[in-house]
Amino acid sequence: MQINSLLDLGWNNHFQSQLDLESLESQLPFRVVSVQRNLVECLGFDQKDQQKTLQLSTYFWRNDPPELHPAVGDWVMVDHDLNPLRILERKTEIKRRGAGKESYIQLIAANIDTLFIVTSCNDEFNINRIERYLSIAAETNIHSVLVLTKIDLCQDVTPYLESLSGNHPELPVEVINATDPASLDGLGKWIDHAQTVALLGSSGVGKSTIINSLTASEDQATGAIRESDGKGRHTTTARSLHRLAGGGLLLDNPGMRELQIVDSEVGIKSTFPDIDALAQNCRFKDCRHISEPGCAVLREIEAGGLERRRLDNYHKLMSEQARNNESLAERRNSDRSLGRFYKQAKKSSQRFKSRE
């Protein structure tokens, strides 16, 4: 990835304002372009203003909670010996509750300007999943664009477009054939110079093919769609940042089977503004819109002005994020208690040794 300045990597006033004069003189900013299990790859400039690729061990962040580990898109400050010092405050972020039984937050990407939510014109299309992605993006004010792929394999895209316009009339939609470069021209207007765009979607919807077309490369492996169920094979295995010919930056994400929502109450309400607006007219301020008398939301459903599916998904996402927030809080309290125990045990051990 050839760059001429930090501005080409998305550096702006949000990050500049976090540095005082001393930091500017003694530290160098590098942007995270790839994260492997034990290795963080960054790009920036050394003291001689020469482009430099930096590989950092994740061991440096071993004592930090997972949400403070570097993610693709982060800005890491290093000293002049290229040792990591800190991660700058993120402008935006995409996160989820970590997969599995343990309660922790996993960062998917950081400092994203626009999110391409990629879905395809087949059985993979799911409006509930799209609303999940929209809620996650809206929580930190990431602009979203819906990218509808595989139109070459679909006889009529009208039902998909009608579903989107009926549920989210303000959501920009681009309809493409990812294997036809000319079909991707519409995506270009969402990728300004030094702007970072992320792709998010299930496996096999065409994300890697989009990247190959936009970058005019074969950096990302692609897999054929299965005719039996219309689903694609998982092709991308690691998150990575790509620089485009027009100066924009494109972040790819592996397809994720599970994207548990967390810390996203504001984002959910932003994705369902009609429900939030109706709720202002409910008889009770703490109305849950389930069976309460005088509920304006339920009244609108009975009148046919609000789809029941939409309220059901709203309830599902709100309940899920509340449940995940609670389990995360319990985990953090447990970690703090354990930390206090270790500190107390260490002090007791030191006092015992001093008496010997």
CA distances from 214 to 136, 151, 182, 219, 251 (A): 25, 18, 10, 11, 12
Residue 94 near residue 72, CB atoms below 8 Å: no
The whole-number pLDDT of residue 256 equals 55
DSSP states along 209-274: HHHHHHHTS--S---PBPTTTS-BPP---S-EEEE-TTS-EEEE----S--B--S-HHHHHHH-HH
pLDDT tens profile 303-314? 999 999 999 999
Where residue 343 falls among pLDDT bands split at 50, 70, 90? low
What is the tally of structural domains in the chain?
3
What predicted TM-score, i.e. pTM, was given to this entire model?
A: 0.83
Residue-averaged pLDDT of the chain: 85
Mean pLDDT for 237-252 is 81
68 domain residue, yes or no:
yes
Do 61 and 130 belong to one domain?
no
Give Cβ neighbours of residue 294 (< 8 Å, ≥ 6 apart): 282, 283, 284, 287
Q: Same domain, yes or no, for 166 and 114? A: yes
Q: Which of 21, 54, 89 is the last residue of a domain?
A: 89
Binding-site residues from annotation for Zn(2+): 282, 287, 289, 295
| Residues 128 and 16 placed together within one structural domain of the fold | no
Within-domain flag for 14: yes
Task: Indicate whether 201 pLDDT > 90.
Answer: no
Return the CATH number at 275: 1.10.40.50
Annotated binding site: 149-152, 201-209, 282, 287, 289, 295
Residues 40 and 116 in one domain: no
Binding residues for GTP are 149-152, 201-209
Last residue of a domain, one of 200, 227, 252: 252
pLDDT tens per residue, range 93-102:
999 887 666 6
Portion of the chain with pLDDT greater than 70, in percent = 83
pLDDT tens per residue across span 176-193: 998 888 888 889 889 988
Indicate the residue among 199, 221, 252 that finishes a domain. Answer: 252
Q: Which domain holds residue 73?
A: 6-89
Res 61 pLDDT > 60: yes
CA distance 216 to 78: 32
Question: Same structural domain for residues 239 and 281?
Answer: no
